[in-house]
Amino acid sequence: MLEDLREWIKEEASKCMFCGFCETVCPTIKFGPHRGYGPRGRVNIALYISEGGKYTEEALSSLYSCLLCAACTLKCPANIDIPEIVRASRVLYSEDSLKEAIVVEKKVS
Amino acid sequence: MEKDKIVRDISKLIGKDKVSGDEALLSIYSKDPLGNVGKALAVVFPEESKDVSRVVSYAYKNDIKIYAQGSSTSLAGSSLPKEPGIVISFERMKKVLEVSLVNSYVLVEPGIRIDDLNLELGSKGYMFPVDPASSSVATVGGAINSGAGGMRGAKYGTMRDWVLGLEIVLPDENGTIAFAGCKTLKCRQGYDLVRLIVGSEGTLALVTKAYLKITPLPETVIVALAFFPRLENLMEAVVDIKSQRVQPYILEFLEKRTAEVAAKSIGRSINIDGHMLLAGIDVNREAVDRYVEWIEKLLKEHGGKGIQTARSWQEAEERGLFDIRRSLFVAQSKMAREIYKNVNNAKIMLLIEDIAVPPSRLIEAVKGLKELEKKHGFVTMLGGHVGDGNLHPSIGFNMLDPEETKRAERWFEDLVDLAISLDGTVSSEHGIGITKKEALRRELEARGSLKLLEIMKDIKKVFDPKNILNPGKVV
Amino acid sequence: MKRRFLDVVLDTMRTLTIKTGYPVPISRSDVYSWARELNLKAKGPVVLYTGALYQIMPYLESLVSILKRAKESRTFLELMGLGKRFASSSLVKTFIKVDKVKVATSNAILRSIVLLLKEVGVEPSYLYENDLYSGVLLYDLGLSETFLLQAKRVYKVFKERGVKKIITVDPHTTYVLRNVYPKFIEGFDLEVQSYIEILSERIERKRPKETVEVVIHDPCFYARYQNIVEEPRKILEASGIKVLEPRRTRRFTSCCGGPVEALYPDLSRAVAMDRIRELSSISKTIVTLCPICFSNLSRVKPQNVEVIDLALLVAKVRGLMLGK
Ligand SMILES: Cc1cc2nc3c(=O)[nH]c(=O)nc-3n(C[C@H](O)[C@H](O)[C@H](O)COP(=O)(O)OP(=O)(O)OC[C@H]3O[C@@H](n4cnc5c(N)ncnc54)[C@H](O)[C@@H]3O)c2cc1C
Ligand code: SF4
Ligand code: SF4
């Protein structure tokens, strides 16, 4: 399951052409400290992680500062589902680092 | 030098919020739209000229390479940190410092995006006319340094026609801050260093402020769209427009199949009856009717089909007359992805070229490109600015396939020869970067001017004796 | 492994939801107290499901400010056992200080929704103590296991009560029920409609005494995720309210910044201020139709600007009795 998710992220995020068109409508990049607070950054950080990169501090701020507002999807020439990539990357983090499934099982039983 | 130390040192110099060595973050400052991947050791976010100066001085003393970045949309690999080094991203320096209508200039920091600048100028009835298709993303600093142009090129020229003066930081021991050029429209300050910096792709100096010329927005612009079964007819229409003492505001062209893919990619079901011509003409409001009638008649006389006209830019926007032309990049990338849809393990690389030929030779250029398509077997997307003879042929190939990569290289070599043989140039607006160095050499050689390449190399040495600014680019 | 603020927030929400059914320390009676005087039936095939989003917003604000304080003082954080124990301890309730005015506003909005539905002849039943949280924030934060657990709980409640159709009250809950639940819950067969969609089909024209002019702020989860754009306009206009459009509107609307309030409060505030500036340059009365937008925009609005929920405004101009 998780591997499928990782593969999906990799496939979807690889479509990115780094054109940056999505950045022009993203509400967070304007007030964030760097490119990671915009959709282009988020997609490519997700890609970095799906290829085995670490959830660094900046990777996490990039992924968790996303509003999932989907404004970026209006502009993306590659039709990338950017908010879904962000959500999926958050799931990976929860599963990898927070061991979400295990915690939930324990709590329920 | 060790990465962590660089980050620590720079934090001390300009503050820890302005530099990062975070691996994930570095990965997004080590890429470009062509699919290149570089290697940034640290990324620095200066907030004022002094920050830039301090970092440059530090890099000079420690022999560290510096790569300037605006939005990293360069199509020539210009902004890529090819070798390990520091990326200086100008994204936080994005203020409009002064707008002066009486002096016809605007003073800006380099990180402002062109469209954001125009939003501000537009409220005063003015504009900065250089409009690369990437203008919503591209920064002023990046556009200056790549010598960008756009749809309005035939009428308004490119970046080199609009920069009055530049504050720059030089790659020397002190990170010297200097001011080149003037605030005035006329300026004879010895050798024209401003024009030298424009298009220098961050290899000579770093731009920290720019005085740009501005111009009033036209009162109104009428727009016409038409399709021509034969390219010859389209060109005749263009010549006809020009010979009636009209210099169009925009004059754009899409080859038939490209127009089809572009229309499809944005879900438009419009009949594409041939090669597409999109013309905009700036006129006074009172003259709108007369010009609309005139252009309609003219296009019809030359065999134009599916003619649509709009009485204002806004009307054209609302009716989507620009949509197909604006989707050229989408079409280019969609086409490439479509072709490789069923190829496992493909990493698609796009070549989006920017040759220019004198407009009188456009027909030959398009024919030549068709031949190249046959010869090398790449589906070629083609559009461009007929007004100034600038064409954007593009192909996609699988960079994981060595044979295909070779073939793409040969296609590019032939393209260069084609441009040169038609009295054209290999790059009209994207710049040389890493992808067109050899092409530049060939062009100069063909003109018997190789000596100039030596002069360029010497100029680079004078500005940047330690070769720390964007090494390996341009020359 | 180093624990981050992010982990603490995620853990807190997860633990609270697993234990209590809500991601914030709210008691069940506080979730349904708004419905007390409306005499809604407890059973019936058509149910009003709030998903508690309106109700939990004031609690979320308070929880966030506690966590923020905790972040600033490490000792506090250690004292609280790094979120997990904090969330499960009864201590948390003593720390939570909800703004009574905000609670009253949320409740008034929900009552208005019911009154409006009644006006168009729709009389839904209500779940009262089983008006559970939909889990949408957990879904968005990537806590998929906890979300799934919660979704199953919620679905079970619907099934046990013989529910056939659900009327939702906010864009996030609508989206997650209609578009996400079916992906995770086998055999999901409930019809989901937002009260906005229902009203827009049935509402009748009514002229108010004085003309009201407002600017509309489309929520992303209606406008972009579900293409609900014309519906709210129709409701407002049918009530004689003049709707003005901001620069970025309809599908091109710009987010209120609310979704990152918990983790990036400064960023959230900056986004909200930017949006408020744009909206208030058109009209000093801003209409929202989402509890998150309402909460986040209200927080940063200047004195002379009013942010009002669509349901409350429409109920008011249509002269519906709100009670207290
Ligand atoms: C979809 C698409 C369409 C495009 N269409 C056009 C077009 O129509 N016309 C056109 O001309 N180009 C076009 N381009 C290319 C590119 O967008 C432009 O050249 C643009 O001006 C680059 O701006 P940038 O901010 O992204 O610069 P970057 O790519 O970041 O940098 C470009 C160069 O400038 C240097 N640089 C950046 N800032 C500074 C500074 N402050 N000081 C010194 N050096 C600096 C960099 O080192 C680099 O060499 C297009 C690109 C894309 C992706
Ligand atoms: S969904 Fe995220 S990345 Fe896309 S525009 Fe909204 S905040 Fe930006
Ligand atoms: S618009 Fe799409 S393709 Fe372009 S940078 Fe953004 S995500 Fe990538």
Q: Which residues lie below 8 Å from residue C77, measured CB to CB, with a gap of 6+?
A: C8, C70, C71
| Per-residue pLDDT, C75 | 57
Question: Do A and C count as touching (3 or more CB pairs closer than 8 A)?
Answer: yes
Give all strands of the β-sheet with B250-254 in edge-to-edge order: B305-310, B220-228, B275-283, B250-254, B383-385, B390-391
CA-CA distance, B323 to A22, in Å (whole number)? 17
Q: Residue whose CA is closest, atom 2 of ligand 2?
A: A66
Average pLDDT over residues B5-13: 97
Chain A segment 65-94 residues within 8 A of C by beta carbon are 65-71, 73-74, 87-94
pLDDT digits (tens, 9 = 90+) for B63-113: 999 999 999 999 999 999 999 999 999 999 999 999 999 999 999 999 999
Range(s) of the domain holding residue C83: 2-198
Among chain A residues, the shortest Cα distance to C224 is held by A70
If asked whether residues C144 and C215 sit together in one domain, one would say: no
Say what the pTM is: 0.94
Helix axes of C100-119 and C53-72: crossing angle, nearest 10 degrees: 160
Is C260 a domain residue? Answer: yes
Point out the domain boundary residue: C198, C222, C254: C198
Among chain B residues, the shortest Cα distance to A40 is held by B28
| Per-residue pLDDT, C323 | 56
**Structural domains of chain A in order of their starting residue, each with its CATH number:** 2-108 (1.10.1060.10)
Contact B473, B203 (CB under 8 A): yes
If asked whether residues C144 and C212 sit together in one domain, one would say: no
Question: Do C and B count as touching (3 or more CB pairs closer than 8 A)?
Answer: no
Residue B77 token pair: 């690999």
Closest CA to B258 of B221, B231, B222: B231
Contact C239, C296 (CB under 8 A): no
Asked if B333 and A77 come within 8 Å (Cβ–Cβ), the reply is yes
| Per-residue pLDDT, B297 | 97
Helix (H) or strand (E) holding B446: helix B437-446
A chain contacts of residue C143, beta-carbon cutoff 8 Å? 94, 100
DSSP-based three-state secondary structure for C214: strand
If asked whether residues C68 and C217 sit together in one domain, one would say: no
Is C322 a domain residue? Answer: no
Please report the beta strands in chain C, taking only residues with DSSP state E, as ranges in sequence order. Answer: 46-49, 125-126, 165-168, 191-194, 212-216, 241-244, 285-288, 306-309
CA-CA distance, B237 to B205, in Å (whole number)? 44
CA-CA distance, C192 to C154, in Å (whole number)? 14
Helix (H) or strand (E) holding B213: strand B206-213
C-alpha distance across the termini of chain A, in Å: 22
Phi–psi pair at A75, nearest 5 degrees: -105, -15
Smallest Cβ–Cβ distance between A94 and the set C10, C224, C274 belongs to: C10
Average pLDDT over residues C27-50: 93
Task: Quote the distance between the C-alpha of residue A91 and its chain's center.
Answer: 10
Whether chain C has a CB inside 8 Å of the CB on A55: the answer is no
Whether chain B has a CB inside 8 Å of the CB on A18: the answer is yes
Which single residue is written with the structure tokens 């016409």? B224
Residue C183 token pair: 């992906």
Q: Which residues lie below 8 Å from residue B419, measured CB to CB, with a gap of 6+?
A: B355, B356, B357, B365, B425, B426, B443
CA-CA distance, B263 to B324, in Å (whole number)? 5
**Pick among B16, B25, B332 to test the A interface (most A CBs inside 10 A):** B25
If asked whether residues C208 and C193 sit together in one domain, one would say: no
Contact B86, B40 (CB under 8 A): yes
Residue C231 token pair: 């519906």
B chain contacts of residue A33, beta-carbon cutoff 8 Å? 17, 45, 92
| Per-residue pLDDT, C57 | 94
If asked whether residues C284 and C146 sit together in one domain, one would say: no
pLDDT digits (tens, 9 = 90+) for C236-295: 999 999 999 999 999 999 999 999 998 999 999 999 999 999 999 999 999 999 999 999
CATH number for the domain harbouring residue C215: 3.40.50
Whether A16 is in the pocket of ligand 3, judged by its Cβ within 6 Å, is yes
If asked whether residues C227 and C149 sit together in one domain, one would say: no
Residue B310 token pair: 């709009």
Q: What is the mean pLDDT of chain B?
A: 94
Smallest CA–CA distance, residue B39 to chain A, in Å, is: 14
If asked whether residues C93 and C193 sit together in one domain, one would say: yes
pLDDT band at residue A102 using 50, 70 and 90 as cut-offs:
confident
B349 CA → ligand 3 middle, Å: 15
DSSP, res A21: G
Asked if C149 and A104 come within 8 Å (Cβ–Cβ), the reply is yes
Is C300 a domain residue? Answer: yes
CA angle C52, C56, C60 (to 5 degrees): 150
B146 CA → ligand 1 middle, Å: 6
Residue A40 token pair: 């282009």
Question: Is beta strand C212-216 parallel, antiparallel or unpaired with respect to C241-244?
Answer: parallel
Residue C7 token pair: 């982990």
CA-CA distance, C239 to C207, in Å (whole number)? 6
Point out the domain boundary residue: C198, C218, C253: C198
Touching partners of C (3+ C-beta pairs < 8 Å): A
Closest CA to B310 of B227, B218, B222: B222
If asked whether residues C185 and C208 sit together in one domain, one would say: no
If asked whether residues C17 and C53 sit together in one domain, one would say: yes
pLDDT digits (tens, 9 = 90+) for B207-226: 999 999 999 999 999 999 99
Ligand with the closest atom to the CA of B197: 1
Average pLDDT over residues C51-75: 83
Residue B220 token pair: 């109104």
Closest CA to C34 of C14, C19, C18, C48: C48
Among chain B residues, the shortest Cα distance to A33 is held by B92
DSSP-based three-state secondary structure for C76: helix
Phi–psi pair at C288, nearest 5 degrees: -115, 160
CA-CA distance, B317 to B271, in Å (whole number)? 19
Say how many C-beta atoms besides its own lie within 10 A of residue B4's C-beta: 11
Q: What is the mean pLDDT of chain C?
A: 91
Based on C-alpha coordinates, what's the Rg of chain C? Answer: 19
| Per-residue pLDDT, C79 | 47
Residue B175 token pair: 């990170």
If asked whether residues C78 and C176 sit together in one domain, one would say: yes
Is C62 a domain residue? Answer: yes
Whether A17 is in the pocket of ligand 2, judged by its Cβ within 6 Å, is no
Q: Residue whose CA is closest, atom 3 of ligand 2?
A: A39
Smallest CA–CA distance, residue C301 to chain A, in Å, is: 18
Average pLDDT over residues B153-172: 96
Tabulate helix, strand, coil % of chain A (nearest 5): 60, 0, 40
Q: How many CA atoms lie within 13 A of B453 on its CB side?
A: 18
If asked whether residues C141 and C283 sit together in one domain, one would say: no
pLDDT digits (tens, 9 = 90+) for C10-35: 888 898 899 889 999 898 899 999 99
Point out the domain boundary residue: C139, C174, C198: C198
C chain contacts of residue A107, beta-carbon cutoff 8 Å? 15, 18-19
CA-CA distance, A35 to A28, in Å (whole number)? 10
Is C188 a domain residue? Answer: yes
pLDDT greater than 80 at residue B355: yes
Whether B111 is in the pocket of ligand 1, judged by its Cβ within 6 Å, is no
Whole-number Cα distances in Å, B48 to B45, B111, B186, B201, B203: 9, 11, 28, 20, 20
CA-CA distance, B8 to C60, in Å (whole number)? 38
Residue C91 token pair: 């201590």
* A to B CB pairs, distance under 8 Å: 86
B330 CA → ligand 3 middle, Å: 11
Closest CA to A76 of B137, B115, B38, B353: B137
Is C324 a domain residue? Answer: no
Residue B291 token pair: 């010009």
pLDDT greater than 80 at residue C195: yes
CA-CA distance, C238 to C119, in Å (whole number)? 13
DSSP letters spanning B298-343:
HHHHTT-EEEEEESSHHHHHHTTTTHHHHTHHHHHHHHHHHHTTT-
| Per-residue pLDDT, C93 | 65
DSSP letters spanning C21-39:
SSSSS--HHHHHGGGGGG-
SS (H, E, C) B140-204: HHHHHHHCCCCCCHHHHCCHHHCEEEEEEECCCCCCCEEEEECCCCCCCCCCCHHHHHCCCCCCC
Cα diameter, chain C: 63
pLDDT greater than 60 at residue C324: no
Q: Fill in the amino acid letter for B64.
A: I
Average pLDDT over residues C290-318: 96
Residue B472 token pair: 């390996």
Domain count, chain C: 2
pLDDT digits (tens, 9 = 90+) for C107-151: 999 999 999 999 999 999 999 999 999 999 999 999 999 999 999
Touching partners of B (3+ C-beta pairs < 8 Å): A
CA-CA distance, B225 to C236, in Å (whole number)? 40
Whether chain B has a CB inside 8 Å of the CB on A78: the answer is yes
Residue B432 token pair: 């040389």
Contact B184, B164 (CB under 8 A): yes
Asked if A31 and C11 come within 8 Å (Cβ–Cβ), the reply is no
**Structural domains of chain B in order of their starting residue, each with its CATH number:** 3-91 (3.30.43.10), 96-216 (3.30.465.10), 220-326 (3.30.70.2190), 340-460 (3.30.70.2740)
A chain contacts of residue C300, beta-carbon cutoff 8 Å? none
If asked whether residues C212 and C295 sit together in one domain, one would say: yes
Is C323 a domain residue? Answer: no
Question: Is beta strand B383-385 parallel, antiparallel or unpaired with respect to B275-283?
Answer: unpaired
Is C110 a domain residue? Answer: yes
Closest CA to A88 of C10, C140, C129, B98: C140
Whether A83 is in the pocket of ligand 2, judged by its Cβ within 6 Å, is yes
pLDDT band at residue A103 using 50, 70 and 90 as cut-offs:
confident
Residue C132 token pair: 């559970």
DSSP letters spanning C265-322:
HHHHHHHHHHHHHHHHTT-SEEEE-SHHHHHHHHHH--TT-EEEEHHHHHHHHTT---
Whether B470 is in the pocket of ligand 1, judged by its Cβ within 6 Å, is yes
Whether B138 is in the pocket of ligand 1, judged by its Cβ within 6 Å, is yes
Buried b (16+ CB within 10 A) or exposed e, B333-369: bbbbbebbeeeeebebbbbbbbbbbebebbbebbebb
